[in-house]
Structure 1
Amino acid sequence: MDAAGLAKLLSPHGWALLSALPPYDETRTMAISDRLRREGIDADLIAAALTQSRLRAKAHAKFDSFADGMLFTPAGLEQATRLTVAAHHARRYVAAGVTRVADLTCGIGADSMAFAGVGLTVLAADTDELTAALATVNLRHFPEAVVRHTDGLTLDLEAEGVDGLYADPARRASTGKRLFDPGAYSPPLDSVLALADRVPALGVKIGPGVPHAGLPAAAETQWVSVDGDVVEAGLWFGPLAPDGPGLTALVLRGQSARVVRDELGGAAPDVGPVGAYLYEPDGAVIRAGLVAQIAAEVGGRLIDKTIAYITSDALHASDAATGYRVLDTLPFGLKRLRTYLRERDVGRLTIKKRGTAVLPEELRGRLDLRGHQEATIVLTRVAGAQHVLVVEPL
């Protein structure tokens, strides 16, 4: 969608058309388009409205029902922070006593919406004119928020009275390829981090694959997962990190939220034999290097010093790990595993893996199972050797 398409969509007729479209169904798109053309509606407006209908349907995963009143670009939706996560960002600024936030790379305005939603005054900026226009639409219900089409790094922060900064640098090239070099972000990460000297309350969203070696020592780096999916990492400076620098994990599951931090002084977990229960720590916990914290929490030990699976002899619930009851343990071997599963009439198999090169779909095909029962197996290393753990989800 270009500026002309947006203008048509924002006209009273265009907005009414978008609001009147039925819930998006790809199988009905062509028929709807043909019907609207026969009614004499402009082809470009039809295309823009149907595109927004499709993006809104996709955006429900991040914005729930709020998506139905928002506008998107594909790239803007891809990078936008989930509203549940953005709410946690906003609470940091409130807790730090910040009153006016500059969202330096606002995109479609997801984080700015959360900031304004908790009562912060927001100055949002984006270098792309269309994106800034969409952010203006998405923030239309928040008089506390102003959007500018400008480079956020050029804002006169002192003159604007800003006491908090937030940035979400673009991490994809123009080709859509994901960027892993922070120097290739737009704007470059170093340029954003330098602003902490001027406004100490700085937060920066980065990709969750960031290596520990490149993290700034002065920041709290927090990995965030939503229902088991690791969605981002964030760098938090100054008053936004009240517990000081370090590595933490924010685990969001349903309506619950749990922050995991190192309370063991970096102590390594014990390693020992497979017990009655197996735990898979949340991905954010693993990325943050906090597996030992979960092992201590469940009274457990690692099954291998290089693998993030924890085992225990007694059941201990954890809101930062998925638990399984261990039914059997056997050395890995295709023929042995096939015989084992066929003897138990297994036809539906869930395969989890860690620390092995075996491809689950390839293995499933070679097992050629035709039974009526269901099973879950874990392919992993135990004390350095490949094993299969037959488990039952708790």
Structure 2
Amino acid sequence: MNIETLRLARDKAWQLQIADIQAYVLKNPDKLKTDFLQLVADQWVARQKAKFKLPGWYANPDIIYPAPLSVEQSSSEATAEYKARLFFNAGYPNLIDLTGGMGVDSAAFASNHQSVIYVERNKSLTEIAASNFKTLGLNNIKVVNADAVQFLSAASLAADTHFYIDPARRDASKNKVFKIEDCEPDLLQIKHELSSYLIKYSPMLDIKLAMSQLETVAEVHIVAVDNEVKELLFLCHKPNGHAKITAANLTNNHWQTFSFNYETEQIAEVQFSLPLGYIYEPNAAVLKAGAFKSIAQKYGLNKLSGNSHLYTSETLIKDFPGRVFACQSVCRFDKSEVLAHLNSNQANVSTRNFPLKAEEVKKKLGLRDGGDTYLFATENFKHQKIILICQKPNEPRQT
């Protein structure tokens, strides 16, 4: 489909003040031709998917969207900005995005680099990205329609070039894949051609296995958005010492980061205790990173047990990378005992190293979701099943 037709479909989709695109397609009140109607629907759906993921793009009426699946698979503006800062800190003036896709990452990189080369094998995506780069005023991006492997074999590249790769994680049958060798391009086959690169993989990938396969990993970044892990990033070049592992949780207010390495994690010592005045739950990025002992050592915390990954202290640690609660009471897993410590039958229930799921715990305790009380069903270092009754630190203590 040519770019001018897509612009017309975009403009039509922008004009639609509707909540249900399927009803619009079925009724087709504007008597659009079938093919064009589908393009309008795709533009509308793709833009809705971008609303929270790409708010800056969503707000721009001149952005053309690729197929909705491409928007789903693209980086968010938040994670793209995180990667752009990583590259900026690395000090490489030139960057090549070998798997350009929708172009969100390239657009973010362009703000911090003298020049960016966007490489994408899908011609339609290439044309859409080129149009959007122009719309966004990004004149330092060169667009190349080529396969990444073929581009590498044909290009003459400067020594100070940095590469970014976001391999396709679906096979020929559109099934999701997670192993490095199953993604396309397969970095294990082309890594020898790249002196320095950042590669993005699914959160499902085994971090330590990937490090051993990629070999030259200098940094690993586990990136979460609003406490949901979205990306694993491996910064690869000649490492200087142990690889630095950074867990980052990106929110609207700020970025929580915690860095460590696996060598110190392995030898770190941790103290265990019964619950004290405050309870700490690490964010999802810290947990995926596996910083179970390092986080306790850094903040002077005790663990409740070896596998619960909940922490405690007598005094409040405000800058902890995760959720912090004031511990009101500690109960046995007994309905009457728990309810005696609650002002209502509402609570937000989580489980850590507990045989029942949160829904099952709520049912057994006769609780409903909601309120400002937080319950953790967990196990202490004495292997006793316990319920922690907590509130946010600024909430008044229950009596």
Shift in Å at residue 373 of structure 1?
A: 6.5
Provide structure 2 residue ranges, at least 5 long, that are not aligned to the other structure: 394-399
Change (3 A) 1:213 1:238: closer
Is 2:42 aligned against 1:48? no
1:344–1:373 CA contact under 8 A, matched in 2:
no
Is 2:391 aligned against 1:389? no
Match of 2:358 among 357, 360, 375: 360
| Per-residue deviation, residues 91-144 of structure 1 (Å, max 9, x unmatched) | 222333322211111111111110113344121122233333332233233221
Shift in Å at residue 209 of structure 1?
A: 2.6
Match of 2:161 among 149, 160, 163: 163
1:103–1:152 CA contact under 8 A, matched in 2:
no
The number of residue pairs the alignment matches comes to: 378
Is 2:67 aligned against 1:73? yes
1:167–1:192 CA contact under 8 A, matched in 2:
no
1:8-157 matches, cutoff 5 A: 8-10=5-7, 13-22=8-17, 25-26=19-20, 30-31=23-24, 34=27, 37-68=28-59, 69-140=63-134, 141-156=137-152
1:329–1:389 CA contact under 8 A, matched in 2:
yes
> SS of the residue aligned with 2:346?
strand
1:60–1:67 CA contact under 8 A, matched in 2:
yes
Cα distance in 2 between the residues matched to 1:373 and 1:246 = 40
Provide structure 1 residue ranges, at least 5 long, that are not aligned to the other structure: none
Deviates more, 1:257-266 or 1:281-290: 257-266
2:148–2:185 CA contact under 8 A, matched in 1:
no
Shift in Å at residue 319 of structure 1?
A: 4.6
Match of 2:170 in 1: 172
Shift in Å at residue 277 of structure 1?
A: 0.7
1:221–1:234 CA contact under 8 A, matched in 2:
yes
Letter in 1 for 2:250: L
Cα distance in 1 between the residues matched to 2:369 and 2:77 = 43
1:346–1:375 CA contact under 8 A, matched in 2:
no
Shift in Å at residue 15 of structure 1?
A: 3.8
Cα distance in 1 between the residues matched to 2:130 and 2:108 = 14
Cα distance in 1 between the residues matched to 2:250 and 2:9 = 38
Query: TM-score, with normalisation over the residues of structure 1?
Result: 0.85
Letter in 2 for 1:212: I
2:331–2:337 CA contact under 8 A, matched in 1:
no
1:323–1:393 CA contact under 8 A, matched in 2:
yes
1:126–1:149 CA contact under 8 A, matched in 2:
yes
Shift in Å at residue 361 of structure 1?
A: 2.1
Shift in Å at residue 86 of structure 1?
A: 1.1
Deviates more, 1:38-47 or 1:115-124: 38-47
Match of 2:275 in 1: 274
| Per-residue deviation, residues 29-74 of structure 1 (Å, max 9, x unmatched) | 524763xx44343232222222222221221222113134241323
Cα distance in 2 between the residues matched to 1:370 and 1:249 = 33
Shift in Å at residue 223 of structure 1?
A: 0.5
1:8–1:14 CA contact under 8 A, matched in 2:
yes
> SS of the residue aligned with 1:348?
coil
Deviates more, 1:303-312 or 1:38-47: 38-47
Match of 1:236 in 2: 235
> SS of the residue aligned with 1:291?
coil
Letter in 1 for 2:222: W
Match of 2:252 in 1: 254
The alignment yields a C-alpha RMSD, in angstroms, of 2.8
Letter in 1 for 2:50: A
Cα distance in 2 between the residues matched to 1:65 and 1:290 = 34
Change (3 A) 1:347 1:44: farther
Match of 1:310 in 2: 311
Change (3 A) 1:320 1:41: same
1:227–1:253 CA contact under 8 A, matched in 2:
yes
Shift in Å at residue 8 of structure 1?
A: 2.3
State the identity %: 20
Change (3 A) 1:356 1:103: same
Change (3 A) 1:94 1:344: closer
Cα distance in 2 between the residues matched to 1:144 and 1:233 = 27
